[in-house]
Amino acid sequence: MNRLLAGFIVTALLVPTIARAQSAGSLLEQGIRAYTVREYDGAAWLLRHALTAEGANALPSSETARALMYLTATEVARGQRDSAVSAAHRLMVLDPRYRPDQQTFPPDVIAIFQNARRSAPTVSIRAIGDTIRPGADAFIVRLGSTASPEVTATVNSADGRVVRTLYNGAFRDSVDLRWNGLDASGSPPPDGRYAVIVTPSARERHGASASWTLRLPIEVAHLPVDTLPLPAAPSDSLMRPEHGDTKDAVLALAPGLGASLAIILVPKLVASGEHASSARLIVGGSVAIAGIAAFLSHHPGQQLAANERYNRSLRDNWKRNVAEISRRNADRIRQTRMIIRPGAPSLTTSGGDTP
Amino acid sequence: MRRILGVIACAACAVPAAAQQQRLQFTAGGGAFQEIVQSHVDSNNSRFTGLLLGAEGSLVSDRFIIRLRYAEGKVNPRNASIPSGGGGALANVLHGTAAAAAVDSAPRDVVEGEALVGFRALPWLTLWAGPSARAYTVGDANQRWLIWSGRASVRGTLLPGRMQTFLELWGALSGNVGNPPVSASGRGADGGLELRLGEAAAFWGRLGYRIQSTHAEGLRETVESLTLSLVYGLPQ
């Protein structure tokens, strides 16, 4: 009994792990086997799950194309024509050069594929995740086509605003769109979700029966960077008064008059009885005049040029420090790295068909 | 005289470097002194005037200051009165009454100096102590006043960093005059104005008035000076 319980517990722990570990490739092979034995519902389930796998478990491009082709065939067999067309569209977006094996798939499947190929834009988009230095490196998006379409490619923000135009013109076979991670003003955009949007140019739209939009979602994140805090503006307590006041005026006058009086009177104290010379009057008078001049230079309303210069110097020093630290921070931000992770591309046609 | 000038020159070269090493400040300067001397020997009164040239320097730490001053020159008699029978104390000091009569009408070669140590009790108040000497020669005779004094000096700012006033009062703690020495005493004052020569200049100009009155038995001498000096560094 105990053994049985232990067996159940081990199974309960292991089964989810094993199921999770089942690779997308394995699901694809099982889906193809189910299709060949005409288990179409099971095949559709297995193929869809194989296509939804992400990250390291995701199918490579060639296998994804194969899965989409079998999914198209499965949906045709299930009588789900819209789903079949949608899968065929996805296949065209992924690989415009893909050609199904006419020996493997029945003619009605080939016909659906050919119709999808004719109606869908023959433009593919592909990118791999990258870490770049904004302004120095580039995130590369490859557009492919079997024709020579004239397209406009932009990086748009989540609200649809154009952040940067990457390409505008025709191309043959393929073209690499390079985004240096900066917006139109030359600044790195904030972290968030963006998309590379490819649309046919106005002339291309005019000539075609249906318009389309190819969208490659991307997620932008900046690696954190240490920036220096800006110094605080000099406080008022550090500033000197730029206009005189009564107290300062009196404080300037007092030592002048006091010293003057002392110089004139001190001979009486030091050498009473002597006839003091007029030298003391010359010096005492000069000191008194200097005191009065100092009083006038401090009187209320008088601009104190020296203090103005001192305060200006203090403010200029602060501004210089702020500019220097801002420059250093800008350098650091310029050196920062941006992670760009692309998502699964999607196609929207004028009929609102979103594969 | 040459020796003294040599010592001053050496000090002027050595002190700034040493002060910088010890994080001390120093000032150095020179000036001219117009002196008016009133000399009383018993009832014998004489008045002299003349020009002295001098140098000064100080070494300043946070709280302590050392100040040296030296000046020399010649003063000439202006009006002398020589009453008969005078010269009791002067005879002791100047070796005889006949000599006294001769010197009161003769020019005097004067040398002055002081060496003081100051303690800055408050930012505007400094207390000083140290010796000061004043000597002159008349013919073959020497007269030397040596006074140990205690002083207090105050400074007031008229325009910050540009103009300041100062006043110094002193009183003798002990002293002597002549050879053989006779006990002497005295007091004095010094005051004036200091003005920075230019906004960021290192030199200051000083206009000052100095008076000192020293006395011994039967002898009194009052010296007034109008001083004009040029000082390198913030005067302390």
Confidence band (pLDDT; 50, 70, 90) for A209?
A: low
Confidence band (pLDDT; 50, 70, 90) for B64?
A: very high
Q: Which of B159, B193, B220 to mutate to test the interface with A (most CBs of A within 10 A)?
A: B193
Q: pLDDT per residue over B180-220, tens digit each? A: 889 999 999 999 999 998 877 899 999 999 999 999 988 89
pLDDT at B95 exceeding the cut of 50:
no
Mean pLDDT confidence for A244-251: 81
A7 and A14 in contact (C-beta within 8 Å)?
A: no
Output the average pLDDT for chain A: 83
A284 touches chain B (CB under 8 A): yes
User: What tokens does B205 get?
Assistant: 């100009």
Query: Would you state the pLDDT for residue A3?
Result: 61
A276 and A267 in contact (C-beta within 8 Å)?
A: yes
Query: Would you state the pLDDT for residue B82?
Result: 47
Name which of A217, A178, A220, A214 is nearest A94 in CA terms: A214
A14 touches chain B (CB under 8 A): no
Confidence band (pLDDT; 50, 70, 90) for A15?
A: very low
Q: What percent of chain B has pLDDT over 90?
A: 56
Q: pLDDT per residue over A94-114, tens digit each? A: 777 788 888 889 999 999 888
- The radius of gyration computed from the CA coordinates of chain A, to the nearest angstrom, equals 41
- Check CB contact under 8 Å for A262 and B191: yes
Query: Would you state the pLDDT for residue B87?
Result: 39
Query: How many residues does this entry show for chain B?
Result: 236
A263 touches chain B (CB under 8 A): yes
Confidence band (pLDDT; 50, 70, 90) for B65?
A: very high
Could you give the strand order of the β-sheet that contains A174-179, starting from the edge strand earlier in sequence?
Answer: A123-127, A139-145, A174-179
A197 touches chain B (CB under 8 A): no
Name which of A122, A328, A292, A146 is nearest A212 in CA terms: A122
pLDDT at B81 exceeding the cut of 80:
no
Confidence band (pLDDT; 50, 70, 90) for B85?
A: very low
Query: Would you state the pLDDT for residue B73?
Result: 95
Q: Which of A263, A269, A272, A311 to mutate to test the interface with B (most CBs of B within 10 A)?
A: A263
Q: Which of A248, A253, A264, A266 to mutate to test the interface with B (most CBs of B within 10 A)?
A: A266
Query: Would you state the pLDDT for residue B1?
Result: 54
Query: Would you state the pLDDT for residue B198?
Result: 83
Confidence band (pLDDT; 50, 70, 90) for A93?
A: confident
Q: pLDDT per residue over B215-225, tens digit each? A: 998 889 999 99
pLDDT at A21 exceeding the cut of 60:
no
Greatest mean pLDDT among A74-83, A203-212, A302-311: A74-83
Rounded Cα distance, A325 and B191, in Å? 51
pLDDT at B54 exceeding the cut of 70:
yes
Rounded Cα distance, A151 and A172, in Å? 11
Greatest mean pLDDT among A342-346, A347-351, B153-157: B153-157
Q: pLDDT per residue over B123-174, tens digit each? A: 899 999 999 999 998 777 788 999 999 999 999 988 888 899 999 999 999 9
- This prediction's pTM: 0.52
Report chain B residues touching chain A, CB-CB < 8 A: 34, 36, 38, 156-167, 169, 187-189, 191-193, 195, 199, 207-209, 211-213, 222, 224-226
Query: Would you state the pLDDT for residue B92?
Result: 46
- Check CB contact under 8 Å for A263 and B156: no
Q: pLDDT per residue over A295-325, tens digit each? A: 888 777 777 787 888 899 999 999 999 999 9
Choice among A37-51, A266-280, B100-114 with the minimum mean pLDDT:
B100-114
Mean pLDDT confidence for B175-179: 88
If you measure CA to CA, which chain A residue comes closest to B225? A279
pLDDT at A156 exceeding the cut of 90:
yes
Q: What percent of chain A has pLDDT over 70?
A: 88
CA distance A314 to chain B (A): 17
Mean pLDDT confidence for A211-223: 86
User: Chain B contacts of A262, Cβ < 8 Å?
Assistant: 167, 189, 191
Task: Kindly list the distances between the CA atom of residue A71 and the CA atoms of A64, A154, B71, in Å, as whole numbers in the listed order.
Answer: 10, 32, 114
Query: Would you state the pLDDT for residue B9?
Result: 64
For residue B146, list its beta bridge partners. B133, B176
Name which of B225, B231, B217, B232 is nearest B184 in CA terms: B217
Q: pLDDT per residue over A169-202, tens digit each? A: 888 878 899 998 888 888 888 899 999 999 888 7
Rounded Cα distance, A74 and A36, in Å? 10
User: Chain A contacts of B156, Cβ < 8 Å?
Assistant: 254-256, 258-259
Confidence band (pLDDT; 50, 70, 90) for A243?
A: confident
Name the more confident of A27 and A333: A27
Name which of A55, A340, A133, A54 is nearest A219 in CA terms: A340
Rounded Cα distance, A73 and A71, in Å? 5
pLDDT at A131 exceeding the cut of 90:
no
